[in-house]
Amino acid sequence: MLLNTGDRLQHKFDPYPFPMLGLVVACEAVLLSTVVLIEQNWMNRRDERREHLHLQVNLLAEQEITKVLYLQRLICKRLGITEAERDPELLELSRETAVEQLAEELGNVLNADQS
């Protein structure tokens, strides 16, 4: 820009409205936005994999906790502790979780939100 606006050059290769400079800047913006979109796409895929891993870990923890509560109820029953059998919350928590039903309900909710 300084060379084109100064008096040093008799033949200016990019006169005042600077079309060549505008073209270079526009090309740079296109390349930069492409790189940013590729990076965002990569980050989204990485986040989806991480969320899937978290879901698997949470489901495994749910199964383990359910089994521990079931074994605890058996121990209480064997020791003659009847409070464990009368607690409705403990009975509900110690039931096996229907993972397929939860996945279906979650899919329905997500589809409803997208509509």
Give pLDDT, residue 8: 66
Where do the structural domains in the chain lie, given as residue ranges? Answer: 2-114
Give pLDDT, residue 6: 65
**From CA 66, how far away is CA 96, in angstroms rounded?**
6
Strands (E), 38-103: none
The segment with the largest mean pLDDT, out of 53-57, 81-85, 104-108, is 53-57
Q: Is the pTM of this model over 0.85?
A: no
Asked if residues 18 and 1 have their Cβ atoms less than 8 Å apart, the reply is yes
Task: Name the phi and psi angles at 6, rounded to 5.
Answer: -80, 175
Nearest partner of 62 among 111, 110, 101, 23, judged by Cα? 101
Higher pLDDT, 108 or 15: 108
Contacts of 20 (CB under 8 A, 6+ apart): 13, 14
The segment with the largest mean pLDDT, out of 13-22, 35-44, 49-58, 79-88, is 35-44
Residue 1: alpha-carbon gap to chain centroid: 45
Asked if residues 69 and 93 have their Cβ atoms less than 8 Å apart, the reply is yes
Kindly state the DSSP code that residue 94 receives in the 8-state scheme.
Answer: T
Q: What is the mean pLDDT of residues 65-84?
A: 88
The segment with the largest mean pLDDT, out of 37-41, 51-55, 78-82, is 37-41
